[in-house]
Structure 1
């Protein structure tokens, strides 16, 4: 059997945790996936998986072989990209990951428009707020908010959005309007803990920066729950303008502490470091940057 195909099957089965799930990802039968693994084990003269009727786990050799297979498959992909990098029309599968908030709104809309332009392209979107291994997960582009920690990845800033502190007119009528960041200590602050640090809001003052430890009745790992809570008068939020901009325009939320400049939130497109960037990735990042320019980066209305 083709060794590279068998290695790809092995990686998918190992990541999926079962022969059936790995086979489904590759659109092959479970029996065919089993044949590929058995072929590898026969060639290597050792077992790659510990199999029982209820579980599947890698052997020690399997763990080592998995790492090497992923490296080989990446090298092959890069070699093929090097041969075909002059191709200008994006095609094939583009895997994108993004946080729930911006992913389910702006990125999803951008993807829909991008696909209209490129009929030979298919997109798979993965929405999650936690970190993920782009290489292990086969992600081509990850949308990230804020600074990038992993130096092995390449980050391209595609947008900058203002952060705004705001609350509903009903809340302010009942509890008053904060005049300084320190006033927030006496207010209910609804926390989006996907933005680190999760319980600290930072403001710029005349003498530098001040950080306020905030707390409130609603905490969430995405912006939408705290946005809804704020509209319903449960407290203040600090969110990107692209999340609350329409609510501000409609008068559902009112911006406060405008004399204290909040640090902007940068939006990055991140991809694994490769010498040859595929046409589909480059085209999407170019399109996304243009798409987000007037949708995410716009300041709040005066």
Structure 2
């Protein structure tokens, strides 16, 4: 039998002065209350009550044990209350992983605003291209871009960002403007490996998405190097609007092939556990989803 349950039965019986009264308080049978007391007495090797046909009283050992039981049960109650509070109020340390560009801009700003709201929370932010091993690295939530391959993790979609093809005015003046996706095969296309499929840009047609093989003089596993190369006139890029939004706004890059739709880049929050999701993780994901909703789905200026 569960010892804590038996201790609770013992305290109720002692306070009620009878097995029947203690059982009634706990909504259990008198026989069950008796079994719990006998279980405790067997484990302890001593009697806790003096029993007669008309009365029930604590032995000296029982009186001492009652005091200790009440203290233990109170501590357990306080501990459970503290854990429950952690589940309802964001507090403690929250470890977040995020990709370089969105992590250093949109996610970083969201984290700052979230910390202003929750004064009992500390955030450790890790900037890395892949989510990593969430469990081994102790990461509570990782921001992931694109299609999810690891089915062992749980994920929540936070937002989607449009992908656009763009290049610098100098590049278009020298090499011309592509009119169709097929024209890209004759252009220098700077490839971001982080966006699948690698070396292939997708465009929607009547039969679904069609892949155009692309190549150019530079490739990278993150967006900024090829974005800078595109601004310098070295080729075209296909990147999310949250990355090139300010460049487009300032005229450093110009969008082409606007009549052709590319699949959006999804932003997910990935986390290792579905059950008993902590308040800090749940609250941060709710906050971040609302934060990103109006900041990555359109062409926004990247915050500086």
Describe the SS at the equivalent of 1:239. strand
Corresponding residue number in structure 1 for 2:22 = none
Deviation of the 1:207 alpha carbon: 3.6
Corresponding residue number in structure 1 for 2:241 = 241
Do the aligned residues in 1 keep the contact of 2:242 with 2:300 (CA within 8 Å)? no
> In the aligned structure 2, how far is the partner of 1:202 from the partner of 1:261?
8
Deviation of the 1:148 alpha carbon: 1.5
> In the aligned structure 1, how far is the partner of 2:104 from the partner of 2:300?
21
Based on CA coordinates, which of the two structures has the bigger radius of gyration? 2
Do the aligned residues in 1 keep the contact of 2:189 with 2:214 (CA within 8 Å)? yes
> In the aligned structure 2, how far is the partner of 1:187 from the partner of 1:133?
38
Structure 1's 225 and 200: CA in aligned 2 closer, same or farther, altered over 3 A? same
Corresponding residue number in structure 2 for 1:188 = 188
Q: Aligned residue pairs: how many? A: 223
Deviation of the 1:81 alpha carbon: 11
Corresponding residue number in structure 2 for 1:216 = 216
Runs of 4+ aligned residues of structure 1 deviating over 4 Å after TM superposition are 79-83
> In the aligned structure 2, how far is the partner of 1:85 from the partner of 1:152?
28
Structure 1's 83 and 89: CA in aligned 2 closer, same or farther, altered over 3 A? closer
Structure 1's 166 and 138: CA in aligned 2 closer, same or farther, altered over 3 A? same
Deviation of the 1:179 alpha carbon: 0.6
Residues 243-276 of structure 1 deviation map (CA, whole Å, 9 limit, x = unaligned): 0011111111111111110100110011112311
TM-score (norm 1): 0.70
Corresponding residue number in structure 2 for 1:252 = 252
Structure 1's 118 and 216: CA in aligned 2 closer, same or farther, altered over 3 A? same
User: 2:294 aligned with 1:290, yes or no?
Assistant: no
Residues 104-127 of structure 1 deviation map (CA, whole Å, 9 limit, x = unaligned): 111111111111111111111111
Corresponding residue number in structure 2 for 1:109 = 109
TM-score (norm 2): 0.70
Corresponding residue number in structure 2 for 1:88 = 88
Q: Pairwise mapping of residues 94-133 of structure 1 onto structure 2 (< 5 A)?
A: 94-133=94-133
> In the aligned structure 2, how far is the partner of 1:292 from the partner of 1:199?
28
> In the aligned structure 2, how far is the partner of 1:101 from the partner of 1:300?
14
> In the aligned structure 2, how far is the partner of 1:121 from the partner of 1:130?
25
Corresponding residue number in structure 2 for 1:199 = 199
Structure 1's 96 and 165: CA in aligned 2 closer, same or farther, altered over 3 A? same
Structure 1's 192 and 248: CA in aligned 2 closer, same or farther, altered over 3 A? same
Do the aligned residues in 2 keep the contact of 1:188 with 1:236 (CA within 8 Å)? yes
Do the aligned residues in 2 keep the contact of 1:85 with 1:277 (CA within 8 Å)? no
> In the aligned structure 2, how far is the partner of 1:157 from the partner of 1:274?
14
For structure 1, the 5+ residue unaligned runs are 1-78
Describe the SS at the equivalent of 1:108. helix
Describe the SS at the equivalent of 1:133. coil
Deviation of the 1:233 alpha carbon: 0.8
Structure 1's 81 and 243: CA in aligned 2 closer, same or farther, altered over 3 A? farther
Describe the SS at the equivalent of 2:216. coil
Residues 109-164 of structure 1 deviation map (CA, whole Å, 9 limit, x = unaligned): 11111111111111111111135111111100000011212222111111110000
Corresponding residue number in structure 2 for 1:280 = 280
Do the aligned residues in 2 keep the contact of 1:164 with 1:239 (CA within 8 Å)? yes
Deviation of the 1:206 alpha carbon: 3.0
Structure 1's 131 and 278: CA in aligned 2 closer, same or farther, altered over 3 A? closer
> In the aligned structure 2, how far is the partner of 1:125 from the partner of 1:80?
29
Deviation of the 1:88 alpha carbon: 2.8
